[in-house]
């Protein structure tokens, strides 16, 4: 019996190594990417609007600046809006480690490079795990951050932490990642479950918008880091510091989000000293499902801190 199991494991391992070798190689990048080089980071970003107070949109796990392609133009009618790719995911140059503090340093380097500081300080909107990145950037940035919004996220670590990283080791981790990314059906299914029925269905180009950034150099290392150390998160002490800070704070969430319940959103708001959270239609990808209602709440927040 043991010999049979050992033989099966050897065969699976050999097949995994073979698959990884056969699928190895660079994946092309879209033309016309906009990059900024600052603070040791090479950050890809998108922008909308040319006037008004600045807003910087920070993606969560498996997301990029393109995730905000519906929200950006809506906000850009009266604000300067930027969305970035965090290092390790998307088209920004990989720069480990991929923890929340390092990602927050990338955000602050971007703000300074784009002169979004002092009187031109931006409001940071961190989606999902990007909430922790936005929160830490607000703590470390001082007056260079005008306000912070937790969008569909509470900046807490996931239950279970890094258990998956100890179970899913290479070569299997690489094989599972590549098999998953190769499946258009799987990408559509995950998108639909997280976005909901009000979101547009992904066509072939839409699938590539989600897939190709995750096939770039650095993502395998970033996902390996996340599996071993957990998603970007803030400690209880850091959340208390944010609550005690002078930066303006708000929590917004999807009314039908399975990842952040209304009760969890209320606890997140209390934890950072924000007003009661605001619910908008949608599940977890509210920037895709409800760009209009989301933009309205963000504008209301900006108006409230302008006075």
Q: Residue 27 pLDDT > 80, yes or no?
A: no
* Predicted local distance difference test score (pLDDT) of residue 13: 44
At 128, list the tokens: 């999902």
Q: Which residue has the tokens 């909430």?
A: 131
User: Does 126 score more than 90 pLDDT?
Assistant: yes
Q: How far apart are CA 91 and CA 96, in angstroms?
A: 14
**What pLDDT does residue 307 have?**
58
pTM of the predicted protein model: 0.91
Distance in angstroms (rounded) separating the CA atoms of residues 88 and 232: 13
Mean pLDDT within 32-54: 96
pLDDT over 50 (residue 165): no
Angle 278-120-63 from CA coordinates, rounded to 5°: 50
- pLDDT over threshold 80, residue 278: yes
CATH of domain 34-160+231-306: 3.40.50.1820
For the four alpha carbons of 113, 210, 164 and 14, in that order, the dihedral sign comes to negative
Strands 145-151 and 34-38: unpaired
Please say whether the beta carbons of 30 and 212 come within 8 A. yes
Hey, where are the domains in the chain? 34-160+231-306
């Amino acid at each position: 019996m043991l010999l049979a199991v050992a033989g099966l494991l050897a065969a699976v391992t050999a097949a995994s190594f073979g698959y990884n070798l056969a699928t190895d190689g660079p994946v092309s990048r879209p033309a016309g990417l906009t990059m900024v080089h600052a603070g040791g980071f090479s950050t890809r970003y998108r922008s909308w609007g040319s006037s008004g107070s600045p807003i910087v949109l920070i993606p969560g796990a498996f997301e990029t600046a393109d995730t905000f392609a519906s929200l950006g133009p809506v906000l850009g009618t009266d604000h300067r809006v930027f969305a970035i790719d965090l290092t390790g995911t998307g088209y920004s140059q990989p720069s480990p480690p991929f923890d929340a503090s390092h990602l927050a340093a990338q955000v602050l380097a971007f703000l300074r490079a784009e002169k979004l500081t002092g009187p031109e300080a931006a409001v940071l909107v961190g989606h999902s795990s990007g909430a922790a990145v936005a929160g830490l950037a607000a703590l470390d940035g001082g007056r260079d951050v005008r306000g912070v919004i937790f969008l569909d996220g509470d900046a807490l670590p996931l239950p279970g932490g890094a258990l998956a990283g100890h179970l899913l080791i290479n070569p299997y981790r690489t094989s599972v990642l590549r098999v998953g990314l190769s499946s258009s059906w799987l990408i559509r299914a995950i998108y639909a479950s997280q976005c909901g029925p009000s979101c547009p269905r992904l066509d072939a180009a839409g699938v590539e918008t989600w897939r190709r950034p995750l096939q770039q150099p650095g993502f395998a290392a970033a996902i390996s880091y996340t599996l071993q150390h957990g998603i970007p998160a803030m400690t209880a002490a850091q959340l208390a510091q944010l609550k005690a800070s002078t930066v303006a704070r708000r929590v917004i969430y999807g009314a039908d989000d399975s990842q952040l319940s209304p009760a969890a959103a209320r606890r997140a708001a209390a934890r950072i000293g924000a007003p009661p959270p605001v619910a908008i239609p949608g599940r977890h990808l509210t920037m895709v499902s409800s760009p209009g209602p989301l933009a309205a709440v963000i504008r209301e927040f900006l108006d409230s801190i302008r006075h």
